Structure formats: structure tokens, C-alpha cells
Amino acid sequence: MAKKSDANKVAVRTKTTWKHAFKRDWQLYLLLLFPLVMVFLFNYASYPGLRIAFMDYKPAKGYSGSEWVGWATFQKIFKDPDFIRALRNSLIFNIADLLVSFPMPIILALILNELRYPKFKKVSQTILYLPHFLSWAIIGSVALTMFKPSSGLVNIALMNAGIIEEGIPFLNEPYHWAVTYLLIGVWQGMGWGTILYLAAITGISGELYEAAMIDGAGRWKRMWYITLPGIKSTIVTLLIMNLGRVMGSNLERLTALGNTQVKEFQYQLAVYIYAKGIGNNKFSMATAVGLFQSLVGLILVLLSDKIAKKLGEDGLL
Amino acid sequence: MKKNTLQKLLATALVGTMVMSMTACGEKETTTETPSSSETKTESSAAASSDAAPAETVAGIEGFEPFAENVTLQVPVYDRGDSSNGCSDVENNYWTNWVQENFGDKYNITVEYVGITRSAVMNDYAMLAAGQDLPTMCVEYDYDKLASWQAEGYLQPYDIEQFKTIAPTYWQNMVDNGLDAKTQLGGEDYLVVGTRPYGQTTYTFLTWYREDWLKEAGFTEYPQTNTELLELYEKLVQNGHEAPLSGSKVSGAGADQNYGFRSYPQDEITWATTGDYQIPALSTDAQKNFLKWQNTLYNKGYLNQEYYLRDASEVEADFINGKAFTWSGYVSSTMNVLSSFYEANPDGDLGVIKCSGEFTYDEAWGSSNSYRPGGPMGAYVSFANDATEDEVKAAMMYLEWMAQPENLFTMQWGIEGVNFNYNEAGDPVAVGDQKGLAEQQGHNNNVDYWMVVTAIKSLGDIEKDVAAIAPQGLPEDFTQDILDNYYGQLKLYQSGYANVDCLFASAIDAVNEYGTSLKEEIYPEYRDKLTMCKPEEFDALYDELSQKYLDAGYQAVIDGRKEAFDAGKTTRLQ
């Protein structure tokens, strides 16, 4: 009898209508309203502005007063050697950034997960998260103080220790700068990047570890055969999302760490958009490059998602 | 039940807070309760000038009447960053409130000051234009910027007869200084122009040097040629003054001026096509001379070897800390750099580099003691394209009000006993240190507020003016040095060895197209390569980078200017 009553209850629940659901959970829907409005406002409401890319847009004349030029801006951009240089640099640096920066949070999360003394673990995590909250302006000035070729602290220390005779050009020779730029990026982002992986690790059942321990698996084996496979889907999701950013670049980071001696590498799409587009009042050019970046990013995300699914992963979409 | 009520309350409160914060994001902070500018624009347009009429029949300030509906007047003011603004907040301080009380309230105008980043004027205006939020007046010292704004459609032409009626004092200032012929852009009246007394010289821009170092090096007076300067620098280094010229990276317009490296008398075509200071003239002989000089200074170790990583503030710091031989800046009665220098170097002895008045040319370096005279033009003022009729009138009234001697005097000098005192001769002398005063003036005695009328405060007499602006409260008095430099430069100007830049009747397309990237992006990179290369590589590298610079748009700039020059649409070399 009791079983029948339970079955009826289940049947009633499956027929829940929107009206009923809203009445029951209206507080939650109300809370959802704000983020939805924000997403609409900042992600979709600005879409009509993309037509700027197809106009010779003059801010003071507005949309109606500006001339429609079709693909002319795109044609001009693709013929511009500065754009090609910026595109090449962006691709090279973002791929390098992905190769260097992407695995670091995973490794760090695995290490943090193995720490046994809780207080030490928490303090370590806090210290590792901290750089994420520093602005690039601050990081840039700290980097200058640390890595100037002759008056930087690191070079002074190395020279005083007799390890080097003249300063390492961390910031003023393009290849050295590239390494400095990438490593500072790793330092700034790796701590924060561990959060999602640590959250995923906590979702792995403790029973698996216990069973493995009984079978004689050491720490290394447990990490390799339980933790890593356990967070594989998170890794794939984040990799797909990161691939979407391969065309992007961070103006603050490039500006804070850049100087005239490394322009050859520092000149990336964000610099191009700002210097040649916005700084030159060429909003159409800036929008066109931005649109191009976004489209390539979208294609990369879709492609990598498809590849991930073909390889048997869940993918992103 | 209680739990449900609590949940409801919490949810409602949370959403309410979110909505409130979202609304607040869109609000502009203001100290006075006035309608937003867009509302004001609509209202005042509707009111038109029928019953809200400032003086159109009675000329000048006597005929001003309050607007029937409140009008919002937005006035740009340079924001130079905390260290050099003087007063802390350029948009809201004692003096902005003073203008509101003495001008705005009287005529039912809300005066809003809009901070414009001094080092990013074009960007700031572009952002404001993109948001359809340009200030009522667009103001800049550089003619090219106004020409560019006009070409971009930021500005609206004005009725010159209306301006003469509303602002006769201002207009008369223009007439007296020959500026009434400089109102047009592209054949229409767009500009009103502030004056620049003593524009034949650099007037307030001077270079200080360590006189004690000079004497220590065995020199009795400051060298007149670059060849002599090199001898001096060598001695300075021998005396233990490492990298005595300090140095910082170049940025923006006005960097690397080559006036002292040109051939005089100047060739008129070269002067018109490449003789400005907005776009550095890489590819010209003058710039080559200049950069070769920089290359020598760098390679001999007289410039800081990391100059390309350093800001101008570090040069100041070097000078204050007794590590630099020279420092250049604008003279004013309050000069923090100099007062800090004397605090840090109580035994320090400073001198001012003075123009002798005789043209001195150094064959070895192709250099001379010439300079860039500012010309009679102060700031150019125009009106934003979206300003309503009433807002333009309010702007004209503001200009006329600011041009009244008593208002201008108060803005420039401040309050007697607080910002200035009278000397025995009855002339005002500014208080040197105004830090901490509620009435503290903005940068350089409020210049960014009164620049629309004049670029320099003047009592009408050079001796009095120099005495008034000479830095106060220092162990040394530079009044005579400033005067000597002024008279020397004036003599050079009158002999034709210093020329005001060429002005164009309308914007040159190529300048708009390539100007910013040439000066902001390409030139800094190339000039540093040329400064830091080995001396024996300089000539070949100069030719190579010049060609790239020309290809990147400078040739188009030269061609555009030449075309305008040939068409008679430029000023001529005096």
C-alpha cells in the first residue's frame, strides 16, 4: 500500500508545469533574473554594434551618418603588414602560453591535493592565489624593479654572487623577454587556475583511493590512475575554453611588460587594436579585428569540442 | 513558515540590492542635483532662446541674463595625475565651485568640469565622442588635434557675429593678437582662440643645470655648442657623476624636437612639410642630426643605459636626488621639483640655461641654439557637434566671463593672503607652497581652467610677469635668469632664427590616417634603435628605418602637407 502511494507521488511530480515550478521556486527565478539580464546586456545587446566593422564609423556622426563600406575594412586589415605581424605574434605567444600555462595549474592542484598538513595547505593556496588579484600595472612595475638589465634586483644579486658578469636582458632582448613574459603569466595565473581542479578532485570518491591503497598503490600511482582520470573531463573542458582564447591577447599584460626593445614580439592583436584602432579613432578597424578574433575563437572552440567528442570525451557543448 | 518568509525576504532584498547596484553603475557622480546632460539638452532645446535668452541685443557680460531652464555646460580640464594636478580633484574643488557660484548660479548654468587625461587627450575625446558625450567645449593647444576633430565630425561651426555679441572682450583679445583670422577650419568658423603672451619665445619652459658641477668641471659658464657640451659631460663623468643626463622613454607629441638641429634660415617647403612637433620628422636631416647626438650621448654613457624603461618621473627623481645634471620644466611660482632638490641638496647650486641672443651654430653636430616659439595662439576652443544652441551660448558666456580681468585675475592668482600677497610695488606674488589649503590652486596656478582665455598669466609687462612667476621660497632667485633667457630668445626670433610652426587651413587626411601610429607606435621603437645602435651602424640604420617610416605613412603626410602648401592653404614662413 505504501509502495503504491509513493508511486503516485512520483507520477504527480513528473507532471510539474512551468507555472507550478515558478510558483514553487519563484525566489530562485528572481535571483536568476539578474545574471540573465547581465548576460543579455553585455553579451548580446552590444551585437548590433558589430555593424561598425562594416562602416566607416565616425563616432560623432553615429550609425546613420557613417558610410557603409561593406568588407573594405577587412580587406584593408588583411593587407596591413602590422596586422600580419600582430596576428603571428598573438598566435605564437598564445600557443606558447597554452603549452606552458595550461599544465601548471593541473600539476599544482595535484601537489596541493597531496599536502597532508591542512594549515600549510591553506596558507600555500592563499599565497598561490594572491598574484591573480594583482593588477598588471603592479606586476609590470615589480617586474621592472626585479628584472631591469643592470639595475634590476635579480641581476644585481646574480652579479654580486659572481654567477654572471653582465645583466641578463630579461626585459630588453626579444627572446629573453618572451620567456620572462610567459613565466610571469604562469606565476600570475597558476594558483587561481587550481581552484576548478581542486573542486573536481574533491568529487572523486574516497573509496577509490582506499581500494587502491589496499591493492598496494602508492601516491604516485593513485595520482596517475585515480586523480588524473577523475578530473579528465574538467581538463578537457578547460582546454577547449582555453583554445578559444588562442586568438585573444591581454593589452594590460602586454603594456605593463612591454618596451620599445621588444616591440617585435610585444606587438600583438590587443596592441594593434588599441594603437591602430582605438588610439587612431578607427573604431571600424578595431571592431573588425575584434570580430575576426571572436569568430576564429568560436571556430576553434567548436572544432576542439568536436575532436574531444570523437575521442570519447564529453566535450563542452 | 518562518523559514519561507525569511527566504522570500532574503531573495527580494538580494534582487533589490542587485538592481540598485546595477542602476548605480549607470549614474554619474555629481555634487549638485541637476538633471543629466541628455535631459538638459532636450529641455533646453525645447525652451530654445525665446524666453531663455542670454545677451543677444546687449553686447557682453552686461547683457547676460539667466537661462529660463537650467543649462549644463561641460568644460574639459586636464587631469595630470595626482602628483602634478595641484588640487586633488580637477573636476570638483574649491575653484570649480567658485566658478559655479560666481558664474553658473548667476545665469542658471550648471558648470561641469570633465577631466581629460593630459597624456591621452585624443583617446579621451574619442571615447567621449563614441559615447555621444563630448563636453560642450573641445579645447586643445595643438591645432592639429582640432583639425582632426573637425574632420571626424566632433565639432560644429558657430555664428561668429553671435560670438562677437556675447563675448566682445574675448573677441577683442583675439583681434589684438591677430587671432581673428584663425577661426576657420575647412572654410567655416569653428575656432575661437586664446592668446599666448610672449609667444615668440619658450617663455616659461626652462632647463636648470647644476652650476656646482659645472664649476667643479672647470667651466665658468654653460657651453654654447654641442662640441663644448661633450667636453663638459666627459668631465662630469670623470668627476664621478655617472650618466649625468639621466633619461626616460619618449612618449607622445613634442618628443624629440629638432629645432636646434635644423639649418637656418629654414627651407620653407621643409618647414611646412616636416617642421612641426606633432609627428617626429624621421627621414629628415634635422632629425638625423638630433638622433646622432642622442646616439653619441648613449654610447658614451652620458644617458642612463636603461632610459627606455624609465618614466619622466624618474628623471625628476634623479635630479632631486642629485644624480642628474639638468632638468627641464615649466616655471611657476610653486615648483615642487626645485624645492625638493634644495631640501635634498642643501649645498646644491643651480643655474638656468640662457639663450645668449646670438645665433650659435656647431658645424660638427649641425646644431644651434634655436628653439620652438609657441606663437601667439594659446588654446583653441571649439563647440561639440551635439551641443544645443543654449549650451553653445552658455559656453560663449563662460568664455566672456572668464575673460573679464577681475575673474581672470582671481582664477590666476587666487585669494589675497591665501594664494598670493602684494609686494611693495603693488604687484601680486604667489604663495609658493599651497599644499593643504582648501583654496589650493590647480596645476600651474590653475592654468588648466583659464587656458581658454590665455596660455600665460600676464600683468602686461615682462619684468613684472617674470617676477610674478619666478619660483618662490627657494634659496636661489632665478628672476634675472628667466628674463635674460627671454630677451635672448626674443632677439633670436627677431633675427629669423626661430620660426613658428606652419598651420594648415584644414585637416590633412594622411595626418589623421597615420599621425597617431607614426608618433605613438613606430617612432619610439625606431628612435630607440637609432639611439642604442653602435655609432658606426647609425647612418645605414637611419636610412633603413627612414624608408620604413616613410612607407608607414610619413611620405603620405609630407605629400598631403605639400599639396596644401602649394594650394596656398597654409601659413608662410616668417
Reported as a single tens digit per residue, the pLDDT across A122-158 is: 999 999 999 999 999 999 999 999 999 989 999 999 9
Is pLDDT of B511 > 50? yes
- The widest CA-to-CA distance across chain A, in whole angstroms, is 90
Q: What is the mean pLDDT of residues B414-439?
A: 87
B437 pLDDT band, cuts 50/70/90, is confident
Is B131 exposed, middle or buried, given 0-12, 13-18 or 19+ CB atoms closer than 10 A?
Answer: exposed
What average pLDDT does the structure give for chain B? 88
In a domain, residue B14? The reply is: no
Q: Are residues B212 and B345 in the same domain?
A: yes
Q: Are residues B362 and B230 in the same domain?
A: yes
Q: Are residues B429 and B357 in the same domain?
A: no
The answer to whether B14 faces chain A, any CB pair under 8 Å, is: yes
Is pLDDT of B25 > 50? no
Locate A231 and state its grid cell. Answer: 578530473
Closest C-alpha among B396, B353, B349 to residue B371: B353
The answer to whether A275 faces chain B, any CB pair under 8 Å, is: yes
Contact B143, B380 (CB under 8 A): yes
B49 pLDDT band, cuts 50/70/90, is very low
Q: Are residues B188 and B216 in the same domain?
A: no
In a domain, residue B293? The reply is: yes
In a domain, residue B23? The reply is: no
Contact B459, B176 (CB under 8 A): no
B430 pLDDT band, cuts 50/70/90, is confident
Q: Which pLDDT score, from 0 to 100, does residue B22 have?
A: 41
Contact B402, B450 (CB under 8 A): yes
Least confident of A195-209, B209-223, B224-238: A195-209
Whether residue B123 and residue A276 make contact (CB cut-off 8 A), yes or no, is no
Is pLDDT of B541 > 50? yes
Q: Which pLDDT score, from 0 to 100, does residue B252 have?
A: 66
In a domain, residue B221? The reply is: yes
Instruction: Determine the Cα–Cα distance for residues B128 and B131; give it in Å rounded to an integer.
Output: 5
Domain coordinates in residue numbering, chain A: 54-310
The answer to whether B569 faces chain A, any CB pair under 8 Å, is: no
SS3 A99: helix
Locate A211 and state its grid cell. Answer: 581500494
The answer to whether A58 faces chain B, any CB pair under 8 Å, is: yes
Nearest CA in chain A to B122: A279
Host domain of residue B335:
205-370+499-566
Mutate: best of A281, A283, A284, A287, partner B, most B CBs <10 A: A281
Task: List, for residues A62-82, the tens digit of each pLDDT value.
Answer: 888 899 999 999 999 999 989
Single residue among B421, B450, B468 that ends a domain in this structure: B468
In a domain, residue B571? The reply is: no
ipTM of the complex: 0.81
Q: Which pLDDT score, from 0 to 100, does residue B197 have?
A: 94
Residue B18 with chain A: CB contacts under 8 Å: 34
CATH number for the domain that contains residue B134: 3.40.190.10
Nearest CA in chain B to A284: B130
Stretch 117-176 of chain B: residues touching chain A, C-beta under 8 Å:
122-123, 126, 129-130, 132, 134, 148, 152-154
Q: Are residues B183 and B270 in the same domain?
A: no
Task: List, for residues B126-136, the tens digit of each pLDDT value.
Answer: 889 888 899 99
In a domain, residue B18? The reply is: no
The answer to whether B463 faces chain A, any CB pair under 8 Å, is: no
Single residue among B446, B468, B490 that ends a domain in this structure: B468
A308 pLDDT band, cuts 50/70/90, is confident
Single residue among B420, B445, B468 that ends a domain in this structure: B468
Is B205 exposed, middle or buried, given 0-12, 13-18 or 19+ CB atoms closer than 10 A?
Answer: middle
- B38 to chain A, minimum CA–CA distance in Å? 15
B137 pLDDT band, cuts 50/70/90, is very high
CA distances from B326 to A49, B353, B371 (A): 51, 9, 17
Strand-pairing partners, residue B75, are B113
Q: Are residues B276 and B361 in the same domain?
A: yes
Q: Which of A30, A61, A150 sits opposite B306 (nearest CB)?
A: A150
Q: Are residues B193 and B211 in the same domain?
A: no
Contact A254, A271 (CB under 8 A): yes
Which residue is associated with the grid cell 546595477? Answer: B22
- For B112, the enclosing helix (H) or strand (E) is strand B109-117
Q: Are residues B508 and B394 in the same domain?
A: no
Instruction: Determine the Cα–Cα distance for residues A245 and A293; give it in Å rounded to an integer.
Output: 9
Task: State phi, psi for B109 to the nearest 5 degrees.
Answer: -120, 130
Nearest CA in chain B to A264: B525
Q: What is the mean pLDDT of residues A253-277?
A: 93
Task: List, for residues A3-41, the tens digit of each pLDDT value.
Answer: 445 545 555 556 678 888 888 999 999 999 999 999 999
In a domain, residue B41? The reply is: no
Q: Are residues B347 and B229 in the same domain?
A: yes
Least confident of A294-298, B331-335, B375-379: B331-335
Whether residue B528 and residue A278 make contact (CB cut-off 8 A), yes or no, is no
Whether residue B306 and residue A261 make contact (CB cut-off 8 A), yes or no, is no
- B126 to chain A, minimum CA–CA distance in Å? 6
- For B94, the enclosing helix (H) or strand (E) is helix B94-99
The answer to whether A49 faces chain B, any CB pair under 8 Å, is: no
Is pLDDT of B19 > 50? no
Closest C-alpha among B315, B325, B316, B344 to residue B211: B325
Q: Give the orientation angle of helix B462-469 with respect to helix B479-494, to 10 degrees.
A: 130
Whether residue B7 and residue A27 make contact (CB cut-off 8 A), yes or no, is yes
Whether residue B123 and residue A279 make contact (CB cut-off 8 A), yes or no, is yes
Locate B402 and state its grid cell. Answer: 572668464
Q: Using a pLDDT cut of 90, give the percent of chain B over it.
A: 71
B43 pLDDT band, cuts 50/70/90, is very low
Is pLDDT of B13 > 60? no
Locate B141 and state its grid cell. Answer: 593647444
Residue A28 with chain B: CB contacts under 8 Å: 11
In a domain, residue B520? The reply is: yes
B84 pLDDT band, cuts 50/70/90, is low
Closest C-alpha among A277, A283, A274 to residue B131: A283
Whether residue B152 and residue A59 make contact (CB cut-off 8 A), yes or no, is yes
Q: What is the mean pLDDT of residues B510-519?
A: 89
Whether residue B11 and residue A30 make contact (CB cut-off 8 A), yes or no, is yes
Q: Are residues B154 and B298 in the same domain?
A: no
Q: Are residues B255 and B275 in the same domain?
A: yes
Residue A89 with chain B: CB contacts under 8 Å: none
Stretch 98-127 of chain B: residues touching chain A, C-beta under 8 Å:
122-123, 126
Mutate: best of B512, B516, B530, B533, partner A, most A CBs <10 A: B516
Q: What is the mean pLDDT of residues A254-265?
A: 94
Least confident of A153-162, B2-11, B80-89, B268-277: B2-11
Q: Are residues B230 and B337 in the same domain?
A: yes
Number of domains making up chain B: 2
Is pLDDT of B6 > 80? no
> DSSP letter at A42?
I
Fill in the amino acid letter for B326.
T
Nearest CA in chain B to A263: B525
The answer to whether B324 faces chain A, any CB pair under 8 Å, is: no
Q: What is the mean pLDDT of residues B315-320?
A: 96
Q: Which pLDDT score, from 0 to 100, does residue B18 have?
A: 46
Contact B212, B390 (CB under 8 A): no
Whether residue A150 and residue B305 make contact (CB cut-off 8 A), yes or no, is yes
Helix, strand, coil percent content, chain A, rounded in steps of 5: 75, 0, 20
Is pLDDT of B40 > 50? no
Q: Which pLDDT score, from 0 to 100, does residue A277 have?
A: 87
Residue A37 with chain B: CB contacts under 8 Å: 22
Q: Which pLDDT score, from 0 to 100, does residue A244 have?
A: 84
The answer to whether B516 faces chain A, any CB pair under 8 Å, is: yes
The answer to whether B88 faces chain A, any CB pair under 8 Å, is: no
Strand-pairing partners, residue B514, are none
Residue B8 with chain A: CB contacts under 8 Å: 27
| Residue, of A308 and B138, whose pLDDT is higher | B138
The answer to whether A171 faces chain B, any CB pair under 8 Å, is: yes
Least confident of A26-30, A226-230, B503-507: B503-507
Least confident of B6-20, B313-327, B358-372, B427-441: B6-20
Fill in the amino acid letter for B393.
K
Nearest CA in chain B to A274: B123
Q: Which CATH number fits domain A54-310: 2.60.120.10, 3.20.20.210, 1.10.3720.10, 3.30.565.10?
A: 1.10.3720.10
